[in-house]
Structure 1
Amino acid sequence: MKFSEFDFHADLAKGVKIAGFKEPSPIQELAIPIVMRGTDMVGQAHTGTGKTAAFGLPMMDKLAKGQIERALVITPTRELATQVSDELYHLGRFAGIRTLTVYGGVGYGRQIALIHKGVQIVVATPGRLKDLYRKGKIDVFNPEIVVLDEADEMLDMGFLDDIKEIFDYIPQNRQTLLFSATMPEPIKELANHILYQPEFISAVGDDETTNNIIEQRYYMIHENQRDDAIVRLLETEDTDKCIIFCRMKREVDRLVEHLNALGFNASGLHGDLEQMDREAVIKSYRRGETKIMVATDVAARGLDVKNVTHVFNYHIPFDPQSYVHRIGRTGRAGKAGQAITLVTTEEFKELQRIQKEVGAEMRLATIKGPQGLDDAGCEYLAELIRDIPVHSDAEALLAYMGDMDRTLLLEKLLSRFIEQEHQNTGSQIGFSQDRVDEMLEEYRIEQKETRGGNRRRKRR
């Protein structure tokens, strides 16, 4: 199928052509005809599969043809709101469609003024939008199409009550579209509450929970090996842009400082950053000026950046859905991606639970150490040996070596120094397959005993 077959308004079709769109993605091919018919819809697809164009093009086509006057898109984060707004602007600019981004952290005045002047598309985050409606500031804005984008992320971020309140302010005679990567029960309940006889479409296979073009690996490490492991991986993996996920803000700041001190080009993203700083970090990362982003889950939700080749889980996430969202930052638009997780023995059970609940197929890997001394290593050891004082018993011990070749003796002694250096730097990071197999067997026995204990309690 070609985009020309959708019969978009000529000015919109021009924007589509300049954007380089030729053939629709699966979610676009499924969604666009439904939106054009005016039917409510629930669409399931992974982030990065073309969802913005899937709802944006038919929505703007209706605006360009005068079939509707206003449209609203609700997104979970400021970053995603900005991305969606930018894409809609570029696709619809020849049709003269005006788009406004509405989010917190900036003044109300300009946002309210532009809405009253008749902006056609508002892309908003739930918190600021709810405040504007609740205070009666945008009563004039009555959208005929409402899009709820990344609904499962809004659930994870605690926005469901805000969403329900927002829909109390919006006219009932509207078309409502809901998009979500996953479909947990609360999202299904929300769909029943705000949509009318929706059509359900999915661009996700029945057996697909995590993107199957993402190679997923994990490394069993000791707690004190996390920094060494992430550095070694950054040195050995063929990364373009990558994201390293940490659990806490202070971990983000510390790791960014550590990586930059080693000569990497890293920046941090977390909730304590001012809005201006957040936008500067994301813009630099998107342009490729920064190659490594270290982020918390909340900060990176909804982040859509092209060519992210690797996602690293510095810590395993707290829950399975967070794992799905994290690794969904890579492997987008049909491109392969790498998802790499660092796991300690204490986190091993959590890893098994995530693999089971999301259907993830992670393979065990080890991080190989250096195969030999490089120039810097040789120089370091040579300097170390030069500075060693001669022990008073050295001459007596030398006499015990008899007629042993002096060059061979020297090489043997130097070998001891080299072995010690390998032990200090770590020749390998990560547990062997045999050790992990033992842990798996211990885990299975523990699970079996737990199930047996539960059955006995039930019989009583």
Structure 2
Amino acid sequence: MTFNDLGICDSIKKALDEEGYINPTPIQEQSIPKLLNGKDLLASAQTGTGKTAAFAIPILQQLHLNRSQSKGPRKVKALVVTPTRELAIQIAESFDNYGKYLGLRNAVIFGGVKQEPQVQALRRGVDILIATPGRLLDLMDQGFINVKSIAHFVLDEADRMLDMGFIHDIRKLIGLLPFERQSLFFSATMPPAIVELSGKILGVNPEKVVIKPEQTTAERVEQSLFFVSKKWKPQLLLHLLNTVSYDSVIVFTRTKHGADKVVRALDKAGIASAAIHGNKSQNARQNALNNFKDGRIKVLLATDIAARGIDIDQLSLVINFDLPNIPETYVHRIGRTGRAVSSGSAMSFCDVEERAYLRDIQRFISQQIPVIEDHPFPDDEEEEFVVKAPVKKNKSGNFGAPRTNSGGQNRDRNGSHGNNRNNNSNRSNNGTSSGNSNNNGNRSSRKPTFRGRR
């Protein structure tokens, strides 16, 4: 199927052709016809599946066909609410690209910057408004935004909204919207709180589209796993960045402090990088993202919330410096390099405290992530958690042989990860000889060395 088969008007098809869009992704193929018929939509789809186009294209077409001929300033007809500033900017760019020949006008508003330029854009008249919840309600309270004319409402990344504490803002906003409207609800996961929220936003019997993460990302991305002690993670990252071929890489950390710490280590080693997270100003975050997109820096450190809005074409590599404690988040992360129908590569570090996270991730994606054992900073305790498989060469051939990992399932009856750690020579229950144990013990006493960029 191509976009020509979806009933899209010529002006939008021309813009899509210029963007290089030929075949719709599954969520676009399933969603666009339903939305063009005016249906409400409940969609479960992760970042990277093409969902922005799935809702932007039908909204643009309906606004174009139902354009008001009345005089006076334009009234907001479509509202897209999204959790982060970066994602709001990306969505606005998509509306600009797809609707470049329609004569419609959009604006993006978010906090962290002065409101006056945004207020001026609203005064000039806007057809489509893309906003984060806090600044949206603030400008509504000040009387700068009237939502009574809204015909299309999109709540994007609903699960992230809840994670960031926006649930009360969203409920307040819903009470202010017109009852007669088309509503679109997008969420990567559907826990009970999200299902309840969707019931308050959508009409009776909405259309449903579900794109399962493991069908759209995990099978496309070449994944690899490195068991490493926590203290050696920075050195392993430096080693990979100096030996792996890449054009651009996003490195995910669990905390803001962790991202800043890694940036300092990379800068000290002569690798230009930048971090984006909630403690950074909007200008700093946008400058870092622009430098990354333009190729002035090749390494971007990010926390999960800040990275949700990143949309980079041809991202070559994702590195999970810290494993996430939520399996769906792992799929979101590696999906950064497996955009739409593209393939990509993802490497993950796992220390002993993250073994339970690894087990949950592998169960969620129904895959055993190949383990790379030939690297300079191995984890002394990985033998207790790994069942070796026959040696196989990985696709890149850079790091030796992957092996099948039990994901932490080879534990004692009490489920403990650490009862046997103090005695490296007593591993007979794991099928490891005392001689091997002694070798591992010697390895732990040897401090790894790192040679600079070659």
Query: TM-score, normalised on structure 1?
Result: 0.78
Cα gap change, 1:102 to 1:141, in 2 (>3 Å)? farther
Moved more, 82-91 or 148-157: 148-157
| 1:161 maps to 2:129 | no
Residue 204, structure 1, aligned to residue 153, structure 2:
no
1:357-411 CA distances to partner (integer Å, 9 max, x unpaired)? Answer: 5545322222434xxxxxxxxxxxxxxxxxxxxxxxxxxxxxxxxxxxxxxxxxx
Match of 1:365 among 372, 384, 388: 372
Structure 1 equivalent of residue 385 of structure 2: 436
1:401 — aligned with what? Answer: none
Distance 1:29 1:444 in 2: 48
Could you say if the C-alpha distance between residues 360 and 171 of structure 1 is closer, same or farther in structure 2, counting changes exceeding 3 Å? farther
Partner residue, 1:273: 280
Provide the C-alpha distance between the structure 2 equivalents of 1:184 and 1:209, rounded to a whole number of angstroms: 20
1:293 aligns to 2:308 (yes or no): no
1:40 — aligned with what? Answer: 40
- Superposed, 1:113-152 pairs within 5 Å as 113-139=120-146, 142-152=149-159
Q: In structure 1, what is the Cα distance between the partners aligned to 2:411 and 2:187?
A: 34
Higher helix share: 1
Q: Secondary structure at the match of 1:122?
A: strand
Instruction: Give the corresponding residue for 2:117.
Output: 110
Q: Which residue of 2 aligns with 1:338?
A: 345
Q: In the alignment, what sits opposite 1:63?
A: 63
Q: Tell me the distance in 2 between the aligned counterparts of 1:277 and 1:29.
A: 37
> Quick check: 1:446 aligned with 2:414?
yes
Q: Which residue of 2 aligns with 1:82?
A: 89
Residue 167 of structure 1 aligns to a residue whose secondary structure is helix
Q: 1:311 is paired with a residue of what secondary structure?
A: strand
Encode CA deviations 1:206-228: one digit per residue, 9 max, x unaligned.
x6486321233222222321111
Is 1:350 the counterpart of 2:384 in the alignment?
Answer: no
Q: Which has the larger radius of gyration?
A: 1
Check conservation: 2:79, 2:153, Cα contact below 8 A.
yes
CA contact (8 A) 1:71 1:122 kept: yes
Letter in 2 for 1:336: S
Q: Which AA in structure 2 matches 1:47? A: T
- For the Cα contact (< 8 Å) 1:210–1:360, is it kept in 2? no
The question of 1:256 aligning with 2:263 is answered: yes
- What residue number does 1:183 align with? 190
Verify the 8 A CA contact 1:366 1:431 in the aligned structure 2. no
In structure 2, how many angstroms separate the alpha carbons of the residues matched to 1:116 and 1:216?
49
Paired residues of 1:315 and 1:343 also in contact (CA < 8 A): yes
Give distance in 2, aligned partners of 1:152 and 1:73: 15
Q: Structure 2 regions of 5+ residues with no counterpart?
A: 69-74, 388-405, 418-454
Aligned to 1:61, the other structure's residue is in SS state helix
More divergent stretch after superposition (84-93 vs 318-327): 318-327
The runs of 5 or more residues in structure 1 that have no matched partner are 370-427, 450-460
Offset at 1:85? 0.3
Partners of 1:169 and 1:215 in 2: CA distance: 46
Classify 1:23/1:318 alpha carbon distance in 2 versus 1 (closer, same or farther; 3 Å): closer
Scaled by the length of structure 2, what TM-score is found?
0.79
- Give the letter for the 1:20 counterpart: G
Q: Deviation at 1:289?
A: 1.9
1:25-36 superposed matches below 5 A: 25-36=25-36
TM superposition shift of 1:278 = 0.9
Q: Who is 1:316 aligned against?
A: 323
Contact 1:151–1:178 under 8 Å retained in 2: yes
Structure 1 residues 112 and 234 mapped into 2: Cα distance closer, same or farther (>3 Å)?
A: same
Seen in structure 2, the aligned counterparts of structure 1 residues 315 and 21 have a Cα distance that, compared at 3 Å, is: closer
2:370 is paired with a residue whose SS is: strand
* Cα distance in 2 for residues equivalent to 1:73 and 1:41: 14
Checking the alignment, whether the CA contact within 8 Å between 2:45 and 2:212 is kept in structure 1 is: yes
More off after superposition, 150-159 vs 164-173: 150-159
For 2:360, give the aligned amino acid.
R
Residue aligned with 1:368, SS: coil
Q: Secondary structure at the match of 1:233?
A: helix
Q: CA deviation at 1:435?
A: 4.2
Check the 8 A contact 2:327/2:357 in 1, yes or no.
no
8 Å CA contact 2:276–2:301 kept in 1: the answer is yes
Per-residue deviation, 1:238:
2.7
Secondary structure class of the residue paired with 1:361: coil
Pairwise CA distance, 1:96: 0.9
**Residue 431 and residue 15 in structure 1: after superposition, are their counterparts in 2 closer, same or farther (change >3 A)?**
same
- C-alpha change, 1:314 and 1:265, in structure 2 (3 Å) is same
Q: CA deviation at 1:60?
A: 0.6
Query: CA–CA distance in 1 between the matches of 2:90 and 2:366?
Result: 30
Corresponding residue for residue 229 of structure 1: 236
Q: Distance in 1 between matches of 2:266 and 2:163?
A: 30
Distance 1:360 1:129 in 2: 41
Secondary structure, aligned partner of 2:226: strand
Q: CA deviation at 1:82?
A: 0.4
Distance 1:227 1:107 in 2: 37
Q: Residue type of the partner of 1:65?
A: L
Q: Given the superposition, is the C-alpha separation of residues 361 and 67 from structure 1 closer, same or farther in structure 2, using an over 3 Å criterion?
A: farther
Number of residue pairs matched by the alignment: 390
Per the TM alignment, residue 178 of structure 1 is displaced from its structure 2 partner at its CA by 1.1
